[in-house]
Amino acid sequence: MKFDFLSESDQAYFIHKASTLVEALPYIRQHSGKNIVIKYGGHAMGNAKLSKNFSKDIGLLKEVGINPVVVHGGGPQIDKMLKDKNIKANFLEGLRVTNKKTIEIVEKVLSKDINKKIVNDINLSGGKAEGFAGNQENLIEAKKLEIPVKSLDSNIEKILDLGFVGTPTNININLIKKSIDCGNIPVISPLGIDKFGNTYNINADTVAGYIAGSLKASKLLLLTDVAGILDEKKNLISFLNFDDAKKIINEKYVLGGMRPKISTCIDAISKGVKQATILDGRISHALILELFTEHGIGTQIYS
Ligand code: ADP
Ligand code: MG
């Protein structure tokens, strides 16, 4: 059967579009009604077109009955602000060393600039986003992060001092659930507060994983600026089971920001999240490709 009013190539184009929608249907059914936590990386949000598409994708997920919860990073934006103020950025074990002056800048960039922009972008695309600063309303309770390290020449263990870098100890999950129940899309900055009122910078992957675990989310999606976990030959590792993910973390080719990502996935899965994916936020509509097509992208870590 042919449509006289369309050229052959237009017909093929529209039929392809229709079959893409039909292909999405079982995936929409599978994810509808579920909570999916998405870490939106500072690198992935650097490009205007990509961030517009991200907002549209988040809106679309909500429209089809999925409950997206967004946790954002802001590394490159924080680096830029620190550079403007002549403060040197330092990293240890993929985490930012954060002194008093730095935490003030981190808080401003994350909660005032980036959080507001993401909320605004989602709202402009027709969604209903609600912004949360992790260190407000006791949303993310935290304590100072202590990483034990052994020096190369002796077996003596010492604690790395990263300053105001925290690790979550509790999430006020009711605040997030209430937001979801009101039909909103929570957008959360990765800051925490301790019982003395100190604010901590927390790796956004860690926060996303912790929230996914507390919410018993069906999926954790970590958008980043690489295709996924790459092996020593720089080839993408598409699938990892839980045990292999635990092993890979100590490999020499897993460095910097990839380490907290993988340990976050492991923690989330051990708390009941079914699947965690590290995927390329530089690809347009990465979320839609991952969730609604049979191609799936990135590295899937599953229980
Ligand atoms: P994000 O802002 O998304 O958290 P990060 O810089 O913290 O980004 O982490 C992603 C980075 O981890 C990649 O850009 C890459 O340079 C680095 N990385 C280290 N080891 C690996 C690996 N084995 N596979 C992929 N990326 C890796
Ligand atoms: Mg990172």
The string of pLDDT tens digits covering residues 48-84 is 889 999 999 999 999 999 999 999 999 889 999 999 9
- Ligand 1 pocket check for 262: Cβ under 6 Å: no
Amino acid letter for position 150: K
CA-CA-CA-CA dihedral for 89, 71, 204, 253, to nearest 10:
-100
Give the mean model confidence (pLDDT) for residues 187-201.
97
State the sign of the Cα–Cα–Cα–Cα dihedral 289, 290, 291, 296: positive
Residue 3 has a pLDDT of 65
Pocket flag, ligand 1, residue 225 (CB < 6 Å): yes
Alpha carbon distance 301, 262 (integer Å): 9
> Residue 67 corresponds to which amino acid?
N
The amino acid occupying position 49 is K
- The residues, any chain, with a CB within 8 Å of residue 268's CB and separated by 6 or more, are 209, 210, 212, 213, 217, 220, 276
Mutate to test the pocket of ligand 1, among 202, 226, 254, 259 (most ligand atoms within 8 A of CB): 226
Q: Is 282 exposed, middle or buried (0-12, 13-18, 19+ CB in 10 A)?
A: middle
The first and second tokens of residue 71, run together, are 């946790």
Structure-derived torsion over alpha carbons of residues 287, 289, 292, 296, reported in degrees to the nearest 10? -110
The structure tokens 């790395």 sit at 160
Alpha carbon of residue 274 to chain centroid:
16
Residue 90: pLDDT band (50, 70, 90) is confident
Going by pLDDT thresholds of 50, 70 and 90, the confidence category of residue 152 is low
Residue 185's pLDDT band, with cuts at 50, 70 and 90, is very high
235 close to ligand 1 (CB < 6 Angstrom) = no
pLDDT at 1 over 60: no
Is 166 touching ligand 1 by the criterion CB < 6 Å? Answer: no
The identity of residue 117, as a single letter, is K
DSSP category for residue 234: S
CA 140 / ligand 1 centre spacing (Å): 25
pLDDT at 129 over 80: yes
CA–centroid distance, 203 to ligand 2, in Å, is 7
